[in-house]
Amino acid sequence: MKRRHLLAGIAAVAGVGLSGCQSSCDEGVSLDRETVFHWKMVTSWPQNFPGLGTGARDLAQLIEQMSGGRIKITLYGAGELVGPFEVFDAVSQGRAELGHSTPYYWKGKLACADFFTVVPMGLTAEEMNAWFYYGGGLALWEEAYKPFGLIPNPAGNSGTQMGGWFNREINSLADMKGLKIRMPGLGAEVYSKIGAVPVNLPGTELYQAMQTGVIDAVEYVGPYNDLALGFHRVAKFYYSPGWQEPGSAIECMINAKAFAQLPADLQSIVRNAMKVANLMMLSEYTARNQQALVTLVEKHGVQLRRFPDDVLGELKRYSAEVVEAAAARDPLSQRVWASQKAFRDQVAPWTGLSLKSFLDLREL
């Protein structure tokens, strides 16, 4: 017998209904405060992987803590319950209640998924959050996941990523032709356009893929993750800027049926814990990336390079084509991109006038 039933029984014995509020107690208090929900969280990263795995762990702990133990979460690293690219299906099917991943991994199931992680030459982390919460982005994302029985949430952001690790210097677009590069999302489609061969592999397989020549170049996140994965041992040149991922969103999807069973206070706790996770992950990446970069350069002799301007110009042109083509895939993709594009066109001049203008000055 569950504790709340026990209490209800006691109350019945004592002749006082639990819902019968006396003059001394406040109204509007949800009374199911005893049921404990046992949930599973599956993820696309190893347990405790810097930033991403620790982000999932911290989120699970936060929900337990704020709920006072009324939600208990068992965390599964990639491959422990399901594979890193099976998270979406697992949560959709109810094999887990929570899934910590990133939307562009699901582009094969949902054409518009790319737009909820990141768009090449698109929004930064700060702007993505502004679009999600105050620009209609999250409402569109919810609409997109609804047919799968899922509720999406931004639950982290990597900040602006790097452009990737290369074994040779990139002096022209020709140097990228034929290159087998690990790259997901719309960035991969840009690489296809210029004659490279993008493949998507989970983070855990990248080091070996580089070592064995399965791929020639790799882009994962940024210094904090890349140092942990040891890319400096298999590639020499580290390129910026991350034109393809200016601010990549991490998600935590919820099984909608499981969510509906929670009382209102726990629903609020779960969804707001994800906002906390969103803030904390970006803060952690911001703090740790530079430490890792210093280690990469000073200890491991990594060569920092910036893509040549004409290469960036071409990548920008192809990015616009790829994004428009992605938007044309179906009516929902079209609406999502129309919303995000309008937001970008509006927010970019403000970011330029305020944040960028300040950063220019600080570097003077």
Q: Which is nearer to its own copies, 261 or 291 (CB)?
A: 291
| Spatial distance between the Cα atoms of 52 and 225, rounded to a whole number of angstroms | 9
Strand order of the β-sheet with 303-306 is 197-199, 180-182, 217-218, 164-166, 237-240, 303-306
CB 351 within 8 A of CB 124: yes
DSSP code, position 73:
E
Binding test (CB under 8 A) with its own copies, winner from 73, 111, 130, 206: 130
Contact flag: residue 8 with its own copies (CB under 8 A): no
Q: Which is nearer to its own copies, 89 or 126 (CB)?
A: 126
Binding flags for its own copies, 196-235, as an x/- string (CB under 8 A): --------------------------xx------------
Q: Which residues of 150-177 are buried (b: 16+ CB within 10 A; e: fewer)?
A: bbbbbbbbbbbbbbbbbeeebeebeebe
Least Å distance between CB 89 and its own copies?
29
DSSP code, position 182:
E
| Spatial distance between the Cα atoms of 51 and 41, rounded to a whole number of angstroms | 16
| Spatial distance between the Cα atoms of 244 and 231, rounded to a whole number of angstroms | 19
Contact flag: residue 19 with its own copies (CB under 8 A): no
Contact flag: residue 359 with its own copies (CB under 8 A): yes
CB 113 within 8 A of CB 144: yes
DSSP 258-272: HHHTS-HHHHHHHHH
Binding to its own copies in span 235-264, by CB under 8 A: 240-243, 246, 263-264
- The token duo for 215 is 């791929």
- Triad 79, 84, 88: Cα angle to 5°: 120
Q: Which is nearer to its own copies, 92 or 160 (CB)?
A: 160
Least Å distance between CB 245 and its own copies?
9
Binding to its own copies in span 268-287, by CB under 8 A: 268-269, 272-273, 275-276, 278-280, 282-284, 286-287
CB 296 within 8 A of CB 232: yes
DSSP 202-247: -GGGHHHHHHTTS-SEE--S-HHHHHHHTGGGT--EEEE--TT-SS
Q: Which is nearer to its own copies, 67 or 102 (CB)?
A: 67
- The token duo for 146 is 């609804």
- The token duo for 197 is 């061969």
Contact flag: residue 140 with its own copies (CB under 8 A): no
Contact flag: residue 131 with its own copies (CB under 8 A): yes
Binding test (CB under 8 A) with its own copies, winner from 290, 310, 330, 331: 290
Binding test (CB under 8 A) with its own copies, winner from 180, 182, 232, 288: 288
Q: Which is nearer to its own copies, 36 or 331 (CB)?
A: 36
Q: Which is nearer to its own copies, 72 or 168 (CB)?
A: 72
Least Å distance between CB 314 and its own copies?
12
Binding to its own copies in span 315-354, by CB under 8 A: 316, 343, 346-354
Least Å distance between CB 236 and its own copies?
17
Q: Which stretch binds its own copies (CB under 8 A): 14-22, 107-115, 253-261, 333-341?
A: 14-22
Q: Which stretch binds its own copies (CB under 8 A): 39-47, 227-235, 308-316, 326-334?
A: 308-316
Binding to its own copies in span 36-95, by CB under 8 A: 36, 62, 65-70, 72
CB 34 within 8 A of CB 1: no
* Strand-pair partners of 165: 218, 238
3-class SS of residue 38: strand
Site for its own copies (CB under 8 A): how many residues?
A: 101
Binding to its own copies in span 157-186, by CB under 8 A: 159-162
Binding test (CB under 8 A) with its own copies, winner from 22, 147, 298, 301: 22
